[in-house]
Amino acid sequence: MRPPIRVMIANASAVLRRLVTEALEDANEFEVYPAVHGGDVVNQLPTARPHVLILDTEMPVMNGIQTVKAIRETDSLLPIIMLCLTTEASLRAMAEAIPAGANDCAKFTLRMGHVASAKKHLRDELLPKIRFWADHRLQRLLEAPAIESREIVGMQPCAVTG
Amino acid sequence: MDSLLSQPQTTRMNPPEDLRARLQVQGGVWQMLPDIAVKALAMARDPNCSIKEFASVVERDPKLATEILRITNSAFYGARNPIMNLKQAVTRLGFAHCRNVILAASLGSAMRKLKLSEAWMQLLLWRHSVLTGMLAMSLNRRFNLGFIGEEFTAGLIHDVGRSLFAIIAPEDFAKADPLDFIEGPGVLQQEREILRTDHCELGAWFIAQNKLPEALVEVILMHHEPAKATEHRKLVATIGVADHMANYLQSNGSADEYDAQENPAIEVLFEASPGDVLACYTEARLMMSETMSEANSANGPFSMS
């Protein structure tokens, strides 16, 4: 049996963090860690050691694209999987995410209806992508050393609110 | 004019007794607001209140104070030089806009205390309210409609009846309103069948009970039928136009294929306030795209943290 995949959700909205967290936890194969922005992700990397980052492209302090770039520039071989979550309106962000080093993008919309259908939408959108990348990188992910936040290019550990 | 306005109030503002009772017990959005926000909102309506007094109340709630500074310094409010203190912020915004900011900041933070299913409903409705308010502000600016902040408040509050349904009858509300923002002609009828009233009637009754301005009551009651509005027709039509645009943005994700000719409230608005209606038809997509972009921005004035 595969050990749980550690997923960190970075989103500035508390409600969206809760929604994505519950959507993934319902699948019973993930440990989910919340983060409020990219700086918070960097702070938590050494302790949470996530296998997968799901990064909103619109966040204060350090957005998803900046976070992806900073982590890849620090260690281009780090097998961490990074998915950018973005709205349909942020097409530019989607176009920037992959060149920046994201493995994939997931589309997010605010017309997902009530909470049950919203969770289903997120599971349908995220689970195949997480599983695909995890299947390809599992061994490397499990063996990967922890990254120190002070090593992230251009990023100092910062205070977190929210 | 008074008789025209009183007609819908007496015939339509009569939600079922059990829903009223639930609202009185559960209190709805107003009891979710922090005490300081409620006090600040009252002060902002008081013509004798000074900026110093107002700022001294708001600064007791650091989160509210921070939000006012953040919003004042956003591009949406045309900030050029950074504003560093509350008195400056209040001076720049004026009381009318401060009231908007306090409402926006307080309602946004109140959602975090709810169960996820409720918080999610409120988030989607909140998003719709903010988009409608911002679009109303853009319409006001572009077409010189002459409002001084009430258009944003009206946009923010026009669907308060849906938020109240989500609080007092979440299961029935979920059946009546799929929250897909595709508002066909049967949307109010569906609410009446399931909830025995519609969100316009419930919201207008609630706002009237809370002694908020009559213009808001008419906006809430008539925003689906702006052609039937009376006393505050221009404001109702502005919200009708903005509501139609916001629904489109939320149900389609972008303004790319929006056809402003299908927005019936535009004609009503430009009858009530003569202006360049053709420009409204041609510039609608651009206005919507800019507003959407601002609303999506993490550093935007009303980002949903």
Question: Is A15 in contact with B119 (Cβ distance < 8 A)?
Answer: yes
Architecture of domain B2-27+114-296: Orthogonal Bundle (1.10)
Across the interface, of B116, B124, B297, the residue whose CB is closest to A110 is B124
Going across the sheet that includes A81-87, the strands are A30-35, A5-10, A52-56, A81-87, A104-108
Which of A11, A13, A94, A122 to mutate to probe the B interface, most B CBs <10 Å? A13
Query: What pLDDT score was predicted for residue A145?
Result: 62
Where does chain A show beta strands of DSSP type E? 5-10, 30-35, 52-56, 81-87, 104-108
Question: Is A58 in contact with B305 (Cβ distance < 8 A)?
Answer: no
Across the interface, of A111, A113, A115, the residue whose CB is closest to B116 is A115
Query: What number is the average pLDDT over the span A83-96?
Result: 77
Query: What pLDDT score was predicted for residue B8?
Result: 44
Query: What pLDDT score was predicted for residue B27?
Result: 54
CA distance B125 to chain A (A): 10
A1 pLDDT more than 70 = no
Give the angle B239-B242-B248 at the CA atoms, nearest 5°. 140
* Average pLDDT for chain A: 82
The Cα B125–Cα B110 span in angstroms is: 13
Assigned CATH topology for domain A5-151: Rossmann fold (3.40.50)
Question: Is A15 in contact with B116 (Cβ distance < 8 A)?
Answer: yes
Query: What pLDDT score was predicted for residue B64?
Result: 74
Query: What pLDDT score was predicted for residue A102?
Result: 92
Across the interface, of A13, A18, A109, the residue whose CB is closest to B304 is A13
Structure tokens at B99: 């009231």
Residue of A nearest to B291 (CA): A89
The Cα A32–Cα A123 span in angstroms is: 14
CA distance B120 to chain A (A): 6
Query: What pLDDT score was predicted for residue B3?
Result: 32
Query: What pLDDT score was predicted for residue B19?
Result: 87
Looking at per-residue pLDDT, the higher value among B222 and A151 belongs to B222
- DSSP assignment of B182-201: ---TTHHHHHHHHHSS-HHH
Question: Is A58 in contact with B296 (Cβ distance < 8 A)?
Answer: yes
Query: What pLDDT score was predicted for residue A91?
Result: 67
Query: What number is the average pLDDT over the span A69-88?
Result: 83
- pLDDT band per the 50, 70, 90 thresholds, residue A150: low
Question: Where exactly are the structural domains of chain B?
Answer: 2-27+114-296, 33-113
CA distance B114 to chain A (A): 9
Residues on A contacting B at a C-beta cutoff of 8 Å: 12-16, 18-19, 22, 36, 56, 58-60, 63, 87-90, 109-111, 113-115, 118, 162
Low-confidence ranges of chain B (pLDDT < 50): 1-10, 301-302, 304-305
Question: Where exactly are the structural domains of chain A?
Answer: 5-151
Q: Residue B123: list chain A partners with CB under 8 A.
A: 13, 15-16, 110
Which of B70, B129, B172, B296 to mutate to probe the A interface, most A CBs <10 Å? B296
Query: What pLDDT score was predicted for residue B150?
Result: 84
A23 pLDDT more than 90 = yes
Q: Is A156 exposed, middle or buried (0-12, 13-18, 19+ CB in 10 A)?
A: exposed
- pLDDT band per the 50, 70, 90 thresholds, residue A9: very high
With beta carbons less than 8 A apart as the criterion, state whether B133 and B243 touch.
no
Instruction: Provide the CA A102 distance to its chain's centre, in angstroms.
Output: 10
A54 pLDDT more than 90 = yes
Which of B123, B182, B258 to mutate to probe the A interface, most A CBs <10 Å? B123
Query: What pLDDT score was predicted for residue B297?
Result: 67
**Whose structure tokens read 């409903």?**
B121
Question: Is A15 in contact with B298 (Cβ distance < 8 A)?
Answer: no
**Stated pTM of the model:** 0.78
Percent of chain A clearing pLDDT 70 (strictly above): 79
Question: Is B296 in contact with A87 (Cβ distance < 8 A)?
Answer: yes
Percent of chain A clearing pLDDT 90 (strictly above): 37
Residue of A nearest to B252 (CA): A111
Across the interface, of B111, B180, B299, the residue whose CB is closest to A113 is B180
First to last CA, chain A: 36
Residue of A nearest to B247 (CA): A111
Question: Is B251 in contact with A111 (Cβ distance < 8 A)?
Answer: yes
How high is the ipTM of this complex?
A: 0.79
Structure tokens at B21: 């009772």
Closest CA to B264 of B296, B302, B222, B303: B222
CA distance B112 to chain A (A): 7
